[in-house]
Amino acid sequence: MDLLSSLRGDAADRPESVRVGEERLSRGELLAAAGAVARRIAGAPAVAVYASPSLATVVGVVGGLLAGVPVVPIAPDSGASELAHVLTDSGAAVLLAGAREAATLGAPWTECGVQLLPVAVSERGEVPSGPVPAEDATALILYTSGTTGVPKGVPVTGRAITADLDALAEAWAWTEQDTLVHGLPLFHVHGLVLGVLGALRTGSRLVHTVRPTPEAYAKAAGSLYFGVPTVWSRVAADAPSAKALSGARLLVSGSAALPAPVFTRLHELTGHRPAERYGMTETLITVAARAHDPARRPGVVGRPLAGIETRLVDGAGAAVAWDGASVGSLQLCGPTVFEGYLRRPDATAAAFTEDGWFRTGDMAVLEPDGTHRIVGRASTDLIKSGGYRIGAGEVENALLAHPAVREAAVVGAPDEDLGQRIVAYVVAEDVTERELIDLVARELSAHKRPRSVVFLDALPRNAMGKVRKDRLG
């Protein structure tokens, strides 16, 4: 069954099917509100959605899907130049925003020739009865973070979304009996595709907390929780809120590696071992720990989802052993992988191998049973120092094991002698540089120790909590 058939298939009222903050709609009300939007935007080449954490965003996105119009989620904090690029590049002719937000939006929206349409959550309309859009038609146009240039458009088909959500439902035993809770941004794969469309497809109840605070997570009383490491770190630091999650069925972490100390603390307070998963805008979620695996470990993202194949290669393209130690470049293929960047044939060609596998740009270690451990980005997290290949993640976890260290990021800096020297950026109090260097040398090995430690008040992060290592140094 395709994605839209699932959305259309159950219009019967289910009280509080979707709740965002204090706003709530039954499934029937959501479909009727989205139906009203769908009729207003029918025939548009693409529709942008001002993706604030609001019920209007959910209604706007579902309305676009029902109308068969590609939906372009826009981060509310987008700068003027990035916003103009995304609107122009995607070809969006319409911008949907909540009624109150629409009243305050002006340039550069209007300067890009975009028609602004307010979304009234209370409006009702018939769900379009025309043909269901083809499964291989573009459902969403998501944009990469732009850390290595202007953001690139990633067309995502309904078929890819359906394949991904069904595979995740199987991996996490996700059913209509669940109540999903999260407070993640609604313009990324994690918060929107998994966190909204996943709930609609499985039929589970959705509670979006607007902000992912420990108190809001505890109050929501869900069975399934989504978060990123920053969220889980804050939950782990709030013992009463963390203990309130002990009645949940599964805690899921993604978008970046969950630090081992946070994993351990959550297990101590909630009784749960978080399930980590791996994915990208271009591939959706491709590897995930299973709900039925009680031996989940920190830093381990599990095995490929149904239909996904992965492989590790070295710099020359030769296979890297699945021995639990050798680091290689992760490549993958399967039904969730996109076909190419929007209007960027050069970037598309560079992203795929000659035999059609997608180059993730991430480094990983595979165990003999196919379990994956992501080391980090090849461009920033694989450090070549003194002839050794060192994953930044293991050094970061060693630093985070010190009770005085709250945050840590490790990068490789150019060095005439070593090639690259390890530099650690930490948020910590009452600990010296020498103590931290010695800790890593003792816990890992001497060649993995930082050559210098820089103390910061906070690490630079993006909206999903990923550290912006390009801003360090």
Is 462 within a domain? yes
Q: Is the peptide bond before 345 cis (omega within 30 degrees of 0)?
A: no
Look at the block and give the residue holding tokens 């959500």. 165
- 240 burial (CB, 10 Å; 0-12 / 13-18 / 19+) is exposed
Tokens, residue 18 = 């979707």
Co-location of 414 and 359 in the same domain: no
Domain boundary among 377, 411, 433: 377
Tell me, what CATH number does 330's domain have? 3.40.50.12780
pLDDT at 415: 82
Co-location of 267 and 129 in the same domain: no
Is 186 within a domain? no
Co-location of 60 and 112 in the same domain: yes
What residues of the chain score a pLDDT lower than 70?
Answer: 1-2, 4, 8-15, 79, 106-111, 131, 145-149, 379-380, 387-389, 463-464
pLDDT at 164: 97
Domain boundary among 323, 344, 377: 377
Co-location of 363 and 261 in the same domain: yes
pLDDT 10s digits, 287-319:
999 999 888 998 899 999 999 999 999 988 999
pLDDT at 250: 97
C-alpha 155/C-alpha 138 separation (Å) is 6
Exposure pattern of 438-468 as b/e (b: 16+ CB <10 Å)? ebbeebeeeebbbeebeeeeebebbbbbbbe
pLDDT 10s digits, 249-301:
999 999 878 888 889 999 999 999 999 999 999 999 999 999 998 889 988 99
Number of domains, the chain: 3
- Measure the N-to-C terminal CA separation of the chain; round to a whole number of Å: 49
pLDDT at 463: 66
CA 85 to chain centre: 22
Is 160 within a domain? yes
Co-location of 424 and 351 in the same domain: no
pLDDT at 419: 79
Co-location of 414 and 368 in the same domain: no
Q: Is the peptide bond before 185 cis (omega within 30 degrees of 0)?
A: no
User: DSSP state, 165?
Assistant: H
Domain boundary among 377, 410, 439: 377
What does the longest C-alpha to C-alpha distance in the chain come to? 69
3-state secondary structure of 158: helix
Tell me, what CATH number does 467's domain have? 3.30.300.30
Is 193 within a domain? no
Is 434 within a domain? yes
Residues of the domain holding 243: 212-377
